[in-house]
Structure 1
Amino acid sequence: MYAIVDIETTGSHAQDNGITEIAIVLHDGEKVEGRFSTLVNPLVPIPPYVVSLTGITNAMVATAPLFKDVAANIHRLLEGRIFVAHNVNFDYSFIRYHLQAAGLYWQARKLCTLRLSRAAFPGIPKYGLGHICRTLDIPVNGRHRATGDADATTILLEKIIEKGGEKLIRDFLKKEAREQILPPNLPQEHVKNLPQTPGVYYFHDSKGSVIYVGKARCLRKRVISHFTGLDTGKKRQGFLREIHSISFKECPTELTASILESVEIKRLWPVYNVSQKHAEKLYGIYLFEDGRGYLRLAIDKKRKLLEPLVAFSVLSDANRYLWKLVKDFELDAVYCFLDRSVKESALTDTPDVYNARVQLAVLRMQEEKGTYAILETCEITKNISCILIEKGRFFGMGVLPDKSAAQEIELIRTHMTPYPENETLKSMLRSYSDKYPARVRQLGL
């Protein structure tokens, strides 16, 4: 019924590390049915700190079998059994990865005795294997060795079952018992308390510092999606181990969650966020007149002493925006420096005729610097979410009691929470306004 497993490894993630020892205890729910253990040659040097922790040296594994040589037997022992380990995702990810590398497909239901212990024996300060074994008087004959830890985990499982844990185990095995996929240091209550609403979530490390900020249309679903899958890469595994707590802020809509996410990334600069962590206002669209009297629009890096007509943080956004102006106002792509396949276009229009179209494009950009509100119906409360832009600058956002409150700008301001502007959210709001013009209400000052 159960395969209780412990492994020792050369490192913390499966993709770049090997297994140095494995022990499997077969258990039918009442008694031990059999045991298997072996050292394994990981084919990579064992780091000194791992040698110090486990006592397993390079000399000890030099003549041990390779994992591929024992993979078939391990697969046979595990097949059809519930996989049990303390901090189960660590052992499971290693064994599944290395079985797959040996050409063997394997997947199993999992039980984590660390999480089971939290439910069966509440109130213990720490639930690491060594600490809980000392608390429950479980002997460990060889800590940080696979056989000793697997035997201790077996006794721990038996104590959980004696505690009336059969129902607990059944509940954990249900698909909806999502806590089994959670990072090892994250209490399940932090996920259970997440609402199914739009918002922004924050992952915190052991010191409470924010290490990642994300946005979601459904907070609970999005947060759980971070923990699914079996990515064994070093970066992801390190990320999961650092998550100790979650906090969140609910938002009325997905758009307002996206805006708050951008603001918070710029404010907190979390170590695991990559996108949006770049310099602001890198590119702008500029207007100039050439020697023949033609007005030209061009993308260039933003200059300190020259204000662009519109600014972008990403070059591709600037290119897409200018291409749209070219199509909407029948401008020349070569004269806008978008088409470099030829050196110069032979414009048939006179400067006056062509420049009139350029001025219309400039007027479009200036109008986008107007004062307006983006109004959406809140997904949960059905109130009106409002994002206020004044003279082309993002002012803030909030919730209005109804659309009639969106008539006077002074009244709107009383419902708004101001936030700092950045180029990422400016591009976001510009794209959203283009996509949903019916949700934009122009306002007079």
Structure 2
Amino acid sequence: MYAIIDIETTGGDYDEEGITEIAIYQYDGCKITDQFCSLVNPKKQIQPFVKKLTGINEKMLKNAPAFFEVAKRIIEITNNCIIIAHNAAFDYRVLKTEFKRLGYAYERKTICTITLSKKLLPDQKVFSLGKLASNLGIPFSDRHRAFGDAQVTLKLFELLVEKDIGKNIIREHTKVLKNNKTPKRYLKIIDKLPTKMGIYYILDADNEIIYIGKSKNIKQSVIRDLTSSNKKSLIIQNKISKVSFSITGGELTTHLKQQNEIKINRPALNSSAKYRIYPIGIRIDNTKTYHNIILEQVKNNFKYIAVYKNKKLAKKAILILASEFGIQLKHSNFSTLKNKNSNIITPNFNKIIQENESSKQHNKKIMELCESLSYPFSDFLLTENGRKYGEFTFILVKNYQFKGYGYFELNHQIKSMSQIVSRLVSMEENNDAKKLICSFLISKKYLKLINL
């Protein structure tokens, strides 16, 4: 649980400032669960430059509560939370100082979004909240007011969590559950989980991610993991110490995010997907006069036009495509398939095999086949539903290469390539990612296809 905080002060000497306004948004990693915003009477003068910057003056604060009157509410809303702030050292120091004046030792863990931004947004030149919001397309009204700044800090934190592909935020700050094996423990885990689509991470006592799952209903899938008796579930039930999740929104984004993070984090219980989801590939050998279709186990040093989960599916696909494009499969490494798979050969397949044609004609058909399995444009966006109402997901392909995904709310946030890249969670192109994207393109399981 997080508490996104912003504080406005009177200004003045170090540790002599007083709070004039405070805004807190309690956030569970998915949605705002509580919020508190109030002007605060600091019982001291506000520096002139601060009045000009924030618009807050002594007249506005005359009837505002003093800090001791809101202190209990601040303690309650930040209890068991990690404080998130832009320049957290300042906000946390001022907050601790105010509590110290009341004789209360206020202690919380903190995360600074400036520090995170420098690590996860290295291309940015300036890390002020206003500049980051402008460059990332985050709407920003009521600047230098606590509620406005806190709302933008929350949006920035959401984006940074998405960009944290290595899941360091989760590893370092996920709440540890009590180490017992009782059913009550599982109920506590399940109670915190959403029923939305996304990725969930199961960590052991050493903060190692042991399993990354995807689901249209995260809660339902974790319940299954904690109640099933198969080998994987029993290991999870024995080792689980921490749990976290990431709401994704779109189905394609969920698939792409899971396969990417499995390859990066290499969880023990995702062994079958650590390397490739689709291990069988079809490539073209153009070193021969008649370009050959090669079906084989995927190798790192070759480019494949399509990949499949097993040889049976790959063979079936090629037989259908060969029939569609009139390609002679004698120019392949599996020309004997005709007899073994006669039940899936189209009526004119035998005629195609028997025809004689020039290498030029044959190679042209191979090229057409390759184009049919490629992306529709060199640069394009696919859009899906986002994580919440009013938000959308984009998947970027640039120069025929998958680049990653991101979130947006307004069309102007993805108007230019620089804006798109600034919101992008980068991922590497691989055969699995291309297969997933192409399958969604073929089935038209997206909101919009935008040619850039």
Given the two structures, how large is their TM-score scaled by the length of structure 2? 0.49
TM-score normalised by structure 1 residue count: 0.50
Q: Could you say which structure has the larger radius of gyration?
A: 1
